[in-house]
A and B are shown apart, each in its own frame.
Chain A
Amino acid sequence: MLPRLIKRQAPSRAMVYLTPVLALLLTLISSIFLFWIMGVSPLAALHAFFIEPISSLYGITELAVKATPLILIGVALSLGFRAGVWNIGAEGQLILGGIFGGATALFFYEKTGFYIIPLILIMGVLGGMLWSGIVAFLKTRFNANEILTSLMLSYVAGLLLNLMVHGPLRDPDGMNFPESRLFSDSAILPILYEGTRLHLGAMIALLAVGIGWIILSRTLLGYQIKVMGDAPAAGEYAGFSQSKIIWITLLISGGVAGLAGAIEVSGPIGQLLPTISPGYGFTAIIVAYIGRLHPLGVLFAALLLALTYLGGETAQMKLSLPVAVTGVFQGLLLFFLLASDVLIQYRIRFGKQVVMT
């Protein structure tokens, strides 16, 4: 009496919006079970995870701070994913952007001026583009799988950052700690709301959502991306250049990830450290999927996943829950989404089949 899956006549549009909600519900139910096994009151844990972090104004601004890089990278990745270009190394591109942006900030350490911050951000974009450009080159010229190359470069980027803060970019007055100087005021992103950490980057992120939406739904580039993702041969037939789309989507996602990295170091962090991201580049992949590869969906998904970061920190403080729970939570969310997506193409029917074998 196992339930059967019957293919639908046409994909269900209702399910496209419902499955993320279903996935969230299933994740919540599993996490209740998980907390129970860990000997923590599920109610207290859920409260610490989801309610507490945003129960104050400061909490909400923290949510925006954490969501900013996720929104940026999520929107950019969803363009590439739609084309079938799998940039899994956004974390590395973020790091390169942070290195380039941070180095710029340190270069102008003694100077002041309005040009410094835009310069930092532009350098961040360039750093990210450099890193993803390598991936594009390897793919178009050598047919090398971009999943593997972008990932390998991610590991290299982490080591590069480590090298930088231990060596060339280390604070000379810092007692040999692997950190750079704290950036001067003209290299720090302006705060939007007194008393919080909410910075200019959040506005940039919202702008990215709008730009991403327009590109995807109304421009020829967006159309070419969708065609390449659905039927590459049709794209050839229409005269679209696959390698051009590969380059464009990788440069965009790399550049935006680099931008996010520069924003992080000149915003919330304010210096260069051995680690400048708790895995935003990877979480952004989940954000892109939960957001259905659509800029508006990405916005909501980013807020949700930013909440899991905050929640993990809160739960650690209040209930001594290990921070690793966040990672499990995020992984489960993606799993449940992928499973629930079956409902878009298929219906579930219980009981014996009436038609033929």
Chain B
Amino acid sequence: MEILIAAILTIITAATPLLFAALGEMVTEKSGVLNLGVEGMMVMGAVIGFIVVNATGSATLAVIASMLAGAIMAALFAVLVLLFHASQVPTGLALTIFGIGLSALVGQSMIGVAYDGIPKISIPLLASIPIIGDILFHQDALVYLSIIMVFAVMWFMNKTRAGLVVRAVGDSHDAAHALGYSVNKIRFLAILFGGAMSGIGGAYLSLAYSPLWVEEMTAGRGWIALALVVFASWRVSRVLLGAYLFGGITILQLHAQALGIGIPSQIMSMLPYLATILVLLIISRDRSKIKLNAPASLGKPFHVSR
């Protein structure tokens, strides 16, 4: 039983950074923009969050700082893509390369520094429920926030006019422009949101998941988040499912050794990446489904034609 609870807790902590990043990228993509820089934004969030928490002792400030870091990185991307008409794929790659490099530079002094991790919050009464209480109601603030964000994004996209406009822009930027909507402004905001969320996702890694800083500590999670958005067919509920499925794969990796399975650790570490490939090919092979669910203007450059 103890092992089961430990396993479920691992799933939650492994899923949370993916959930943040994938939610953010999904909103960006819903507006029609493909931002491949998630890895770069996440790793910047991780390093900035770690620096701030060590400098100020406040986890809250650290989270806010990581959001800002992610958003600023995203803004760089937005300026290039929206204002300078740069192609989205190489610009996203540039953001990743730049983010990884910058975070390594900025985090030089943080290597080896220790941190206890952000405290868990117990919800009174509910946390005393045996078993479930420990799992569901005794988590750190960011886990709760990630679940709140799932519902917030779902409500925003499907029940508000602003969400409808975002979906419209992602469906056809030409039609949206013809109707008088500012395509670039809406996309800019969607991109910033994606950046902020990626920043928090990265911060979760350095503040809670494995509280320390190591170069490139995101280890490809940003790319996995991108794959998750495809897997989820751009639907919020499926993003949640996907993130937790991946969390599940991670426990195989961490707990298999504890359970005495004799597979080399490197192979276990390969599991998340191999699983991502598997998930991609299962979802992508249904081309009609992709066509129906993917925002029609995703990745296409927007040129104002007079």
Contact = CB atoms under 8 A, between A and B. Distances in A.
| A contacts B: CB pair < 8 Å | yes
Interface stretch (B115-123, B127-135, B193-201, B272-280): B272-280
Given A143-B285, A153-B273, A327 B86 contact: no
B85 interface: yes
A52 B100 CA distance: 26
B266 interface: yes
A144 B280 contact: yes
Given A153-B277, A167-B264, A346 B97 contact: no
B211 interface: no
B97 A327 contact: yes
A330 B93 CA distance: 12
B264 A328 contact: no
A226 B182 CA distance: 34
Given A145-B230, A285-B93, A163 B220 contact: no
Contacts of B86: 338-339, 341-342
A11 to B, nearest CB: 12
Contacts of A286: 94, 97
Interface string B195-237: 0000000000000000000010001100100110010000000
Interface string A136-180: 001001111101110111011001101100110000000000000
Given A147-B36, A327-B105, A152 B98 contact: no
Contacts of B219: 155
Given A144-B280, A335-B80, A339-B80, A328 B105 contact: yes
B101 A145 contact: no
A280 interface: no
B145 interface: no
Contacts of A143: 284-285, 287, 290
A30 to B, nearest CB: 11
A314 interface: no
Contacts, number: 135
B89 interface: yes
Contacts of A330: 97, 101
Contacts of B89: 86, 147
Contact of A331 (B101, B108, B267, B280): B101
Nearest to A289: B90
Nearest to A335: B94
Interface stretch (A190-198, A251-259, A294-302, A318-326): A318-326
A144 B284 contact: yes
A331 B102 contact: yes
Contacts of B94: 286, 331, 334-335, 338
B266 A160 contact: yes
Contacts of B290: 143
A277 interface: no
A338 B87 contact: yes
Nearest to B93: A285
Contact of B104 (A151, A327, A332, A341): A327
Given A138-B281, A335-B94, A342-B84, 11 more contacts: A7-B303, A88-B93, A143-B285, A143-B287, A144-B277, A148-B277, A152-B273, A163-B264, A289-B90, A328-B101, A339-B84
22 contacts: A144-B280, A144-B281, A145-B284, A152-B274, A152-B277, A155-B273, A156-B273, A160-B266, A162-B266, A285-B90, A289-B90, A327-B100, A328-B101, A331-B98, A331-B100, A331-B102, A335-B80, A338-B84, A338-B87, A339-B80, A341-B86, A342-B85
Interface of B: 36, 76, 80, 84-87, 89-91, 93-95, 97-102, 104-105, 108, 215, 219-220, 223, 226-227, 230, 264, 266-267, 269-270, 273-274, 276-277, 280-282, 284-285, 287, 290, 303
